[in-house]
């Protein structure tokens, strides 16, 4: 029987990290980059919608939750209004707001031609 000699005095070989092939379509982003992108997305969404969020908080019933939300949203609303970051939201409300916020009663539903009613 053939045996393979084992030398106990040498440390086991270290495994080297294999770098992903840049040509592979299955490369992934590092977790830190993903978290940064997610944080940037939420900060941008908050900045563009701060006036709407603040308005919704003002319409809440009086209480501790309303006070807390207004305490948080007031400075953000003032800053985004001062830097005019609420302009894209106002533009979209002016151009598409009426179309997107209609109720079913206000919609002009039409049956397709040849449909039986």
Mean pLDDT of the chain: 81
Residue 66 burial by Cβ neighbours in a 10 Å radius (0-12, 13-18, 19+): middle
**Which of residues 30 and 105 earns the better pLDDT score?**
30
Residue 1 pLDDT > 60, yes or no? Answer: no
Amino acid 88: pLDDT: 86
In the 8-state DSSP scheme, what is residue 11?
Answer: P
Helices 31-58 and 87-100 pack at an angle, to 10 degrees, of: 70
Confidence of residue 93 (pLDDT cuts 50, 70, 90): confident
Question: Residue 69 falls within a domain, yes or no?
Answer: yes
Condensed to tens digits (0 to 9), the pLDDT of residues 2-55 reads 666 665 666 666 776 666 666 766 667 788 999 999 999 999 999 888 988 999
Contact between 51 and 86 (Cβ < 8 Å): yes
Question: Residue 5 falls within a domain, yes or no?
Answer: no
Query: CA nearest 48: which of 79, 89, 92, 76?
Result: 89
What residue numbers bound the domain in which 79 lies? 48-100
Question: Residue 52 falls within a domain, yes or no?
Answer: yes
Question: Residue 96 falls within a domain, yes or no?
Answer: yes
Question: Residue 67 falls within a domain, yes or no?
Answer: yes
How many domains does the chain fold into? 1
């Amino acid at each position: 029987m053939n045996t393979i000699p084992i030398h106990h005095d040498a440390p086991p070989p270290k495994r080297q990290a294999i770098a992903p092939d840049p040509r592979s379509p299955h490369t992934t982003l590092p977790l830190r980059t993903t978290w940064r992108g997610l944080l940037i997305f939420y900060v941008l969404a908050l900045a563009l919608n701060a006036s709407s969020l603040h308005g919704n908080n003002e319409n809440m019933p009086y209480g501790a939750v309303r006070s807390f939300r207004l305490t948080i949203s007031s400075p953000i609303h003032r800053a985004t209004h001062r830097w005019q970051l609420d302009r894209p939201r106002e533009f979209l409300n002016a151009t598409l707001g009426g179309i997107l916020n209609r109720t079913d009663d206000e919609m002009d539903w039409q049956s397709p031609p040849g449909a039986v009613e």
